[in-house]
Amino acid sequence: MGSREVLGQAARLASSGLLLQVLFRLITFVLNAFILRFLSKEIVGIVNVRLTLLYSTTIFLAREAFRRACLSGGTQQDWSQTFNLLWLTVPLGVFWSLLLGWVWLQLLEVPDPNVVPHYGTGVVVFGLSAVVELLGEPFWVLAQAQMFVKLKVIAESLSVILKSVLIAFFVLWLPHWGLYIFSLAQLLYTAVLVLCYVIYFTKLLGSSESTKQQTLPVSRITDLLPNITRSRAFVNWKEAKLTWSFFKQSFLKQILTEGERYVMTFLNVLNFGDQGVYDIVNNLGSLVARLIFQPIEESFYIFFAKVLERGKDATLQKQEDVAMAAAVLESLLRLALLTGLTITIFGFAYSQLALDIYGGAMLSSGSGPVLLRSYCLYVLLLAINGVTECFTFAAMSKEEVDRYNFTMLALSSSFLALSYVLTRWCGSVGFILANCFNMGIRITQSLCFIHRYYKRSPHRPLAGLYLSPVLLGAFALSGGITGVSEVFLCCEQGWPARLAHVTVGTFCLGMTLGTAFLTETKLIRFVRTQLGVSRLADKTS
């Protein structure tokens, strides 16, 4: 397979993964809106925080290092030894499932069975579902190595849809089952996911006329099972050592990735109901961020990486490419700032209404509105950080990236401590404030790098962060009008008043966007150019 074909298939795989992520979050969004009207927020907190953390921790610790090591093999990779190594994830998963299950049952606070029934069963079944999913690990790695994009899309989409349908059905008809519902749905999800891979490869390898079969490193389905021979070692020790290296990194990465949930679970800074509300608001906020900002960040990271020479001063590169990168960066910064400001200004006045429509009084009457308003500010920082870091990581030298990783490690560690302190002081909002602080430091580092990078050139891409006074005035006026509208029209005044509040917001949004259209002509040209290039690429592909 040529390098261009590999690049093309890798791009398809990445885009499919992004679509899957968006699909999962949309389904979760709709599902939560439905089940919140039938279940308590305590059950939502236990499932989405406590049990999901048990499942994700078991899965991550058991397989992440194996995946990274086994997918790093070259063309001379002995797949028989690779499959033997991958099957070790199953006993490792059993170990982590038993150990963590004991911790979840014996060391952590057990919820009131009258409020959250069948907690013990939930812990056991979520741990079991993690082990079941590990049974498909050799099939998953082989599919990834062969870049079977459709298989991944179909398997994961079918699994999550069936899980969602089952939860909705039982929540509607048997809500008193409590955690039984989510436990059965989780077990169904992992079983269907594994069966999709097994059935696919069974049919593929059973067909002698298949062209794909000729490119596979196996000829029979039994070749994927553990194979012990005296002529060679059971596993490739180079891969095994690489796995151990990745495991040490993965262990720390998991703690930092799931830091909020670990703080909530082990330090008891929030009760189960507040955990449920926080998780719902976090899903809402991250859904907007991923739908809007992640595609931009991933696409333009590739652009900057191709245009610029990594680790080389801007004055020593082709000036045409440097100028183009600066112009694109300036436009992206302005686009991110405008989008983030729009979400922040209008999200502040419409958070309570959105939560009332989404989850009813359970979300809109407690800490939910304050959480979502705080998250709107965090979305603004996410937008700016996504653009600045995609340029920074594309232009940094390897040594600078390594130093930055150490800084990130220190920031992430401080985030855990800061989260604990702030949540003790101001409740669940403390998590978002800690995230804002962490994101602000990261943005500052990236801005300093960009300033140094273009310091000796005539280009000033950071000018994208400066908006015209007229546009800033439009944002301030919209924020003031919608804020007053919320006080008098939302949310206890009934639906006619709510519709009036929405009408006011629509008018203010139109006024703000119109002002942006008139004042940000350079940005409008950039967006039109990108849309034109995209359409041309679609026609030629």
Say if residue 18's pLDDT is above 60: no
Q: What per-residue confidence (pLDDT) applies to 315?
A: 75
Place of tokens 């606070």: 109
Say if residue 287's pLDDT is above 90: no
Place of tokens 């191709």: 306
Tokens (6 digits) for 483:
């804020």
Q: Which residue has the higher pLDDT, 393 or 336?
A: 336
- The Cα 364–Cα 41 span in angstroms is 12
Q: What per-residue confidence (pLDDT) applies to 145?
A: 77
- The Cα 309–Cα 324 span in angstroms is 13
| Helix and strand totals (H; E) in the chain | 21, 0
Q: How many residues does the chain have?
A: 541
Q: Which residue has the higher pLDDT, 37 or 346?
A: 346
Q: What per-residue confidence (pLDDT) applies to 208?
A: 62
Q: What is the pLDDT of residues 448-471, one digit of tens each?
A: 989 988 888 888 888 888 888 999
What pTM does this model have? Answer: 0.74
- Give me the mean pLDDT over the 490-498 stretch: 79
Tokens (6 digits) for 376:
């709107």
Q: Which residue has the higher pLDDT, 40 or 509?
A: 509
Q: What is the pLDDT of residues 228-281, one digit of tens each?
A: 776 666 777 777 777 776 676 566 666 766 778 888 888 888 888 888 888 888
350 Cβ neighbours under 8 A, 6+ residues apart: 482, 486, 501, 502, 505
- The Cα 325–Cα 305 span in angstroms is 10
Say if residue 7's pLDDT is above 50: no
- The Cα 322–Cα 314 span in angstroms is 7
Tokens (6 digits) for 271:
């009760």
Q: What per-residue confidence (pLDDT) applies to 47?
A: 92
Q: What per-residue confidence (pLDDT) applies to 337?
A: 93
375 Cβ neighbours under 8 A, 6+ residues apart: 281, 282, 284, 285, 347, 432
Say if residue 6's pLDDT is above 50: no
Tokens (6 digits) for 258:
């799931």
- The Cα 336–Cα 344 span in angstroms is 12
Q: What per-residue confidence (pLDDT) applies to 2?
A: 40
Say if residue 214's pLDDT is above 70: no
Say if residue 187's pLDDT is above 90: yes
Instruction: State percent of the chain over pLDDT 90.
Output: 27
Say if residue 206's pLDDT is above 80: no
Among 396, 394, 408, 257, which residue's Cα sits nearest to residue 332? 394
139 Cβ neighbours under 8 A, 6+ residues apart: 194, 197, 198, 200, 201, 224
With cut-offs at 50, 70 and 90, classify the pLDDT of residue 149. low
With cut-offs at 50, 70 and 90, classify the pLDDT of residue 536. very low
Long-range contacts: 162-166, Cβ < 8 Å, 24+?
Answer: 162/188, 162/189, 162/192, 163/188, 163/189, 163/192, 164/27, 164/31
- The Cα 46–Cα 277 span in angstroms is 11
DSSP label at residue 59: H
Q: Which residue has the higher pLDDT, 301 or 170?
A: 170
Q: What per-residue confidence (pLDDT) applies to 77?
A: 62
Single-letter amino acid, residue 408: M
- The Cα 507–Cα 505 span in angstroms is 5
Phi, psi of 220 (to 5 degrees): -130, 155
**Any alpha helices (H) in 233-271, and if so which ranges?**
237-257, 259-267
Among 322, 289, 294, which residue's Cα sits nearest to residue 308? 322
Say if residue 33's pLDDT is above 80: no
- The Cα 101–Cα 123 span in angstroms is 6
Q: Which residue has the higher pLDDT, 531 or 500?
A: 500
348 Cβ neighbours under 8 A, 6+ residues apart: 373, 376, 479, 482, 483
Q: What per-residue confidence (pLDDT) applies to 131?
A: 96
Average pLDDT along the chain: 81
- Of 226-230, 370-374, 535-539, which range is least confident? 535-539
Say if residue 35's pLDDT is above 80: no
Q: What per-residue confidence (pLDDT) applies to 537?
A: 43
Q: What per-residue confidence (pLDDT) applies to 10?
A: 43
Q: What is the pLDDT of residues 436-449, one digit of tens each?
A: 988 898 899 899 98
Place of tokens 């950039």: 526
- The Cα 136–Cα 90 span in angstroms is 9
With cut-offs at 50, 70 and 90, classify the pLDDT of residue 515. very high
Say if residue 404's pLDDT is above 90: no
With cut-offs at 50, 70 and 90, classify the pLDDT of residue 365. confident
Place of tokens 């059973």: 206
Q: 416 and 431 in contact (C-beta within 8 Å)?
A: no
Say if residue 512's pLDDT is above 50: yes
With cut-offs at 50, 70 and 90, classify the pLDDT of residue 354. confident
Among 96, 418, 438, which residue's Cα sits nearest to residue 263? 418
With cut-offs at 50, 70 and 90, classify the pLDDT of residue 504. very high
Q: What per-residue confidence (pLDDT) applies to 277?
A: 86
Q: What is the pLDDT of residues 408-418, one digit of tens each?
A: 777 777 888 88
Q: What per-residue confidence (pLDDT) applies to 78?
A: 74
Q: 118 and 136 in contact (C-beta within 8 Å)?
A: no
Phi, psi of 309 (to 5 degrees): -90, 120
- Give me the mean pLDDT over the 10-24 stretch: 53
DSSP label at residue 216: S
- The Cα 343–Cα 512 span in angstroms is 12
3-state SS track over 94-137: HHHHHHHHHHHHHHCCCCCCCCCCCHHHHHHHHHHHHHHHHCCH
Q: What is the pLDDT of residues 98-137, one digit of tens each?
A: 999 999 999 998 898 888 889 999 999 999 999 999 999 9
